[in-house]
């Protein structure tokens, strides 16, 4: 348990908030590189090892299920002892899973592959849970900006990772591993470094300090949701709507993204082209956070959620209407897909943060991310089956239509809180 200060001044809270963001930014830079590995080549390795396209979504499903379990564990551990240990151990577990994945490709062992993918998902969950660390000590009118600041550092590693597929493949071959195992070597190092940074430097723990701040100013905070550091009262309806925004954004993104490398290989695109598309897609998932967080704070998560739904719809339509051999069309679709996911993630997370009571915030956040990951796992698994039966165009159109659920959902959010 982090040792709490005797009393916290506003200046100390601001200083600790800036320090927390700095540490989270540093760890997320490495975490992003680990995150990108499974997105880039997981489906291709499964297709090669299992010999069927229908099961090529299984890797995404497995590491997403692993992420779901990790999300609830991180939430519960954070509730008890803070974010430092919970996030640090989560990243390190993801690194161990990446090592197991590389070994599974060498041994051509589907069983080891599946187990390792499940463990590797811990890194994915931790990467997402880290965004909440940036909000613990942030003022209520800066929650969106805090979320996006914690997310944006992921861009560096996440964009670099897929674009290193070919050189990392050469490194893997020099080590006696299949070329496609290369990104997982990067993931192992990156995740373990991210976890080590958090365990070493995230002191004092922002979650436990935030709890002390809220207790210290409980009377002052009452009735000042928009002006004080944290809202004292929760809104279950706001939490449910925020959770729905997160889940729908994840389902649409995962379903389309997972099958894109398979679709591209069917049209003889090179691995370099696949890396470029996925790299720009992942960049569009994280880099817009520079702007989306402040925009959410300025115009509110209600309007930005509607924008997210429309952007995801556009992504599905562009992907469906672009010729399979058109690299430009696929690039545009995947960039739109990443952007829509980003806007949905920042908007949904902001709704959840504003709707949760401080006493149960971490556990609620972990529980929501469980459903977020489970539905994402289902999307990853079903996308391969759906594509093998109906084709890529139908898959993407259905994803775009599903995204439009966000529009009527957000209109049900209580207006007085956002």
Could you read off the pLDDT of 24-41 as tens digits, one per residue? Answer: 988 988 888 777 665 556
CATH number of the domain to which 170 belongs: 1.20.1250.20
In degrees and rounded to multiples of 5, residue 311 shows phi and psi of -70, -40
pLDDT of residue 1: 45
Lowest mean pLDDT segment, chosen from 63-72, 257-266, 338-347: 63-72
How distant, in Å, are the alpha carbons of 14, 80, 135, 364 from that of 1?
A: 21, 8, 19, 20
189-218: average pLDDT: 87
3-state helix, strand, coil in the chain (%, to 5): 85, 0, 15
264 part of a folded domain: yes
4 part of a folded domain: no
Ordered alpha helix ranges (H), 164-205: 165-174, 182-201
104, 118 Cβ separation under 8 angstroms: no
Residue 153 three-state SS = coil
Angle at 370 between CA 291 and CA 139, to 5 degrees: 40
pLDDT tens per residue, range 87-136: 999 999 999 998 998 888 888 888 888 898 889 989 988 988 888 888 88
| High-pLDDT (> 90) share of the chain, % | 37
pLDDT of residue 363: 85
**pLDDT band per the 50, 70, 90 thresholds, residue 223:** very low
287-302: average pLDDT: 90
pLDDT of residue 249 exceeding 90, the answer is yes
351, 418 Cβ separation under 8 angstroms: yes
Residue 20's domain comprises: 11-216+226-417
Number of domains in the chain: 1
Tally Cβ neighbours within 10 Å of residue 160: 18
pLDDT of residue 393 exceeding 90, the answer is yes
Ordered alpha helix ranges (H), 267-360: 271-286, 289-299, 301-321, 327-355
Residues 6+ apart with CB under 8 A from 57: 43, 46, 258, 259, 380, 381, 382, 383, 384, 385
How far apart are the C-alpha atoms of 178 and 105, rounded to whole Å?
Answer: 7
Where do we find the tokens 């940074």? 197
154-170: average pLDDT: 67
pLDDT of residue 240 exceeding 50, the answer is yes
pLDDT of residue 205: 92
357 part of a folded domain: yes
What string of H, E and C letters represents the secondary structure of 367-411?
Answer: HHHHHHHHHHHHHHHHHHHHHHHHCHHHHHHHHHHHHCCHHHHHC
Average pLDDT score over the chain: 84
**pLDDT band per the 50, 70, 90 thresholds, residue 380:** confident
187 part of a folded domain: yes
In degrees and rounded to multiples of 5, residue 54 shows phi and psi of -60, -30
pLDDT of residue 20: 92
328 part of a folded domain: yes
pLDDT of residue 301: 92
How distant, in Å, are the alpha carbons of 193, 225, 305, 352 from that of 413?
A: 40, 16, 11, 11
209-236: average pLDDT: 60
pLDDT of residue 224: 46
* Nearest C-alpha neighbor of 117 from the set 28, 33, 43: 43
Tally Cβ neighbours within 10 Å of residue 416: 8
1 part of a folded domain: no
Phi-psi region of 108 (alpha: psi -120 to 50; beta: other; left: phi over 0): left
pLDDT of residue 43 exceeding 70, the answer is no
pLDDT of residue 230 exceeding 60, the answer is no
**pLDDT band per the 50, 70, 90 thresholds, residue 335:** very high
pLDDT of residue 53: 61
405, 113 Cβ separation under 8 angstroms: no
pLDDT of residue 220 exceeding 60, the answer is no
Asked if residue 204 has a cis previous peptide bond (ω within 30° of 0), the answer is yes
141 part of a folded domain: yes
Read off the tokens for 256: 């389309």
354 part of a folded domain: yes
How far apart are the C-alpha atoms of 379 and 252, rounded to whole Å?
Answer: 8
Lowest mean pLDDT segment, chosen from 171-180, 284-293, 333-342, 345-354: 171-180
Read off the tokens for 87: 């996030």
pLDDT of residue 8 exceeding 80, the answer is no
Read off the tokens for 129: 């849970």
In degrees and rounded to multiples of 5, residue 177 shows phi and psi of -110, 160
pLDDT of residue 165: 61
344-367: average pLDDT: 87
DSSP 55: T
């Amino acid at each position: 348990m982090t040792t709490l200060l005797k009393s916290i001044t506003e200046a100390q809270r601001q200083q600790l908030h800036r320090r927390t963001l700095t540490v989270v930014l540093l760890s997320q830079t490495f975490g992003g590189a680990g995150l990108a590995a499974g997105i880039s080549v997981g489906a291709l390795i499964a297709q090669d090892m299992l010999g069927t396209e229908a099961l090529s979504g299984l890797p995404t499903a497995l590491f997403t299920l692993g992420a779901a379990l990790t999300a609830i564990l991180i939430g519960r551990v954070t509730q008890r002892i803070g974010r430092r240990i919970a996030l640090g151990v989560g990243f390190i577990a993801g690194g161990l899973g990446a090592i197991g994945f590389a070994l599974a490709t060498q041994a051509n062992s589907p069983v080891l592959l599946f187990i390792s993918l499940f463990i590797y998902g811990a890194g994915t969950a931790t990467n997402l849970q880290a965004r909440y660390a940036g909000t613990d000590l942030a003022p209520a009118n800066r929650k969106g900006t805090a979320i996006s600041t914690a997310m944006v550092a992921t861009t560096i590693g996440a964009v670099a990772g897929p674009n290193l597929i070919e050189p990392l493949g050469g490194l893997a071959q020099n080590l006696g591993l299949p070329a496609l195992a290369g990104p997982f070597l990067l993931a192992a190092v990156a995740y373990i470094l991210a976890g080590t940074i958090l365990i070493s430097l995230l002191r004092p723990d922002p979650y436990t300090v935030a709890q002390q701040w809220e207790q210290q100013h409980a009377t002052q905070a009452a009735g000042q949701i928009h002006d004080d550091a944290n809202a004292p009262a929760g809104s279950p309806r706001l939490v449910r709507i925020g959770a729905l925004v997160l889940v729908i954004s994840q389902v649409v993104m995962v379903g389309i993204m997972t099958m894109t490398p398979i679709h591209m290989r069917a049209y003889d695109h090179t691995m370099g082209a696949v890396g470029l598309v996925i790299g720009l897609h992942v960049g569009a998932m994280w880099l817009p956070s520079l702007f989306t967080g402040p925009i959410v704070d300025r115009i509110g998560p209600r309007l930005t959620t509607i924008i997210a739904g429309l952007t995801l719809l556009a992504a599905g339509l562009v992907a469906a209407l672009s010729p399979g051999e058109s690299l430009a069309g696929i690039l545009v679709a995947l960039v739109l897909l990443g952007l829509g996911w980003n806007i949905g993630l920042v908007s949904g997370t902001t709704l959840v943060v504003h709707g949760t009571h401080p006493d149960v915030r971490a556990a609620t956040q972990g529980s929501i991310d469980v459903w977020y990951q489970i539905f994402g796992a289902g999307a990853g698994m079903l996308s391969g089956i759906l594509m093998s039966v109906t084709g890529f165009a139908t898959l993407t159109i259905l994803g775009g239509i599903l995204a439009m659920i966000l529009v009527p959902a957000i209109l049900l959010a209580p207006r007085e809180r956002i």
